[in-house]
Amino acid sequence: MNCDHEAEHADKVKRAARNMPPAGDIERLAAGFKAISEPSRLKILFALMQGELCVQHIVEAVGSMQSAVSHQLRILKAAGAVKARRDGQNIAYSIADSHVVAVLELACTHLRCGSGEEGR
């Protein structure tokens, strides 16, 4: 168990242990990323980047079944990525806060893909 830079790495291992976030934080973080790590849910988020939408319009925008969208919205909401507001018979969903958009846009930059906001 000796790599070529033992002393330097041993120091880093110690620092890594000291700076490792608590298990609970890591799990919340993982849950957050998991929430936005499915194409069906990402499509919902990109649709909501146009603003608040009620469920049936999200269904139209993403082209999935109503029940699938509803299940996914529940997951996104539980993860704090979207919020819901009752509006008469409908429920209007929107992106929960700007960090969500920021993370998506950063990731888009990283992957050099369309951010969903060009050509508005």
Residues lying near its own copies in the complex (CB under 8 A): 1, 3-5, 9-10, 12-13, 15-34, 36-39, 42-43, 46-47, 49-51, 53-54, 56-57, 60-61, 80, 87-90, 97, 99-100, 102-104, 106-111, 113-120
> Within positions 30 to 49, which residues make up the interface with DNA, using CB under 7 A?
34, 38-41
Distance, CA of 108 to CA of 119 (rounded, Å): 15
**Gap between the terminal Cα atoms of the chain:** 56
One character per residue 76-105, x = contact with DNA (rule: CB under 7 A) = --------x-x-xxxx--------------
According to the binding rule CB under 7 A, does residue 61 interact with DNA?
no
Distance, CA of 35 to CA of 7 (rounded, Å): 39
Cβ closest to its own copies, residue 25 vs residue 74: 25
Distance, CA of 81 to CA of 98 (rounded, Å): 10
Residues touching DNA, count (CB under 7 A) = 28
Cβ closest to DNA, residue 4 vs residue 118: 4
Residue-by-residue DSSP string for 32-91 = HHHHT-SHHHHHHHHHHTTS-EEHHHHHHHHT--HHHHHHHHHHHHHTTSEEEEEETTEE
